Amino acid sequence: MGWEGNRPESEQAGPGYIGRFAPSPTGLLHAGSLVAALASWLDARAHQGQWRVRLEDVDTPRCVPGADLAIMQQLALCHLVPDGPVLWQSQRGDAYQAALETLIVKGWAYPCGCSRKDIESAQARSVLRHQVAVYPGTCRSGLQGKPARAWRLNVQAVQAELRLPPITEWHDRRLGRQAQNVLETVGDFVLRRADGLWAYQLAVVVDDAAQGISHVVRGEDLADNTARQILLQKALDLPTPQYLHTALVLGANGEKLSKQNGAQALDLHPPLHALRQAALAVDLPVRAEVTDIDASLAHWTAIWRAQYAPRAPFFKA
């Protein structure tokens, strides 16, 4: 099956639900990324919705040439075929620029001249979060003669002008109530990086809205970004999707699997074995007697629907 293959008419998607899988082509899929692919695909099918793929290749120095198409082939081998065209973030610069300009015009984005060193030394008692210092707001009231490097969101200004509380709350479909004080835990976060590249937070928010994404299903390591994304959605007057963050696959050393810590590329010979491992990671049972990929996917979809989409189809609820 090619990755652009059409699904039969009997399986056509309902209009209300659009989900997505958004891999960064910094290498091939690994066992952890297949979990996000499978879970987002199952959630879309359980809601009779559409499943889109977006290749998040904004961080060009980290992208590996050809990894995008190789990922699409890996997905196709697993019979995870997107509905509709694939979106490449590297082609979306104009949309990100327009969003940044909207924020600048509202006075909610400001240029920052701080280097990483400046930020760390400005915070003698630096609060480290994921090894990144919370930005202390040094350039919020002006560059003080430094050349502009990055663009940041003025979190306080957005919250004050939109009358939003300091703590951003949201509901995760698996984890339940979540809350984060973005200003205290991350500070005014970057929209455009000092190297001119678009920041993940801005790109993901602009594209989720442009693609009409109603439901985001992704790994729990990304849950921490959600409050920032919700703030940006509000600042740009964009809808907030529903979120579900899946359990992470841990490597033998107990650390989350990621390309950075050397996760092996998926062994897709045969693909059903890799899919079964991914299913087990999200607590779906594996039936030894089901030896066909489509039958396995149908079995997992039924279980997923009972747990996460009991009133599906979504658009008739």
Footprint of ligand GLU on this chain (CB under 6 A)? 22-24, 56, 204, 218, 222
Q: Give least dist CB 204 to ligand GLU, A.
A: 5
Residue 93, CA distances (Å) to 57, 89, 207, 254 in order: 11, 8, 11, 37
Give me the least distance between CB of 28 and ligand GLU, in Å please.
12
Q: How far is the CB of 44 from ligand GLU (least distance, A)?
A: 14
Residue 257 CB, shortest distance to ligand GLU, in Å, is 11
Please, what is the minimum distance in Å from the beta carbon of residue 243 to ligand GLU?
A: 10
Nearer to ligand GLU, 119 or 236 (CB): 236
Residue with Cβ nearer ligand GLU (138 or 229): 229
H-type helices in 226-266, by residue range?
226-235
Nearer to ligand GLU, 24 or 74 (CB): 24
Give the number of residues written for the chain: 317
Check: CB of residue 271 under 8 Å from CB of residue 78: yes
Residue 204 or 231 having the CB closest to ligand GLU? 204
Closest CA to 82 of 49, 116, 57: 49
Q: Which is nearer to ligand GLU, 154 or 226 (CB)?
A: 226
Query: Judging by DSSP bridges, how do beta strands 128-129 and 109-112 pair with one another?
Result: unpaired
Q: Please, which residue, 24 or 159, has the CB nearer to ligand GLU?
A: 24
Q: Where are the alpha helices (DSSP H) in the chain?
A: 31-46, 67-77, 93-105, 116-122, 155-161, 182-185, 200-210, 226-235, 271-281, 293-308
Smallest gap from Cβ 45 to ligand GLU, in A, equals: 18
Nearer to ligand GLU, 46 or 204 (CB): 204
The DSSP string of 16-84 is S-EEEE----SSS-BHHHHHHHHHHHHHHHHTT-EEEEEE---SGGGPPTTHHHHHHHHHHHTT---SS
Tell the residue number behind the tokens 């990671």, with chain if given.
Answer: 281
State the nearest-atom distance from the C-beta of 107 to ligand GLU, in Å: 27
Comparison of 24 and 240: residue with beta carbon closer to ligand GLU? 24
The strand pair at 109-112 and 150-153 is best described as antiparallel
Select from 61, 66, 56 the least CA-distant residue to 88: 56
Residue 262, burial from CB neighbour count under 10 angstroms (0-12, 13-18, 19+): exposed
CA dihedral defined by 279, 282, 285, 286, rounded to 10 degrees?
Answer: 20
Cβ 247 to ligand GLU shortest distance, Å: 15
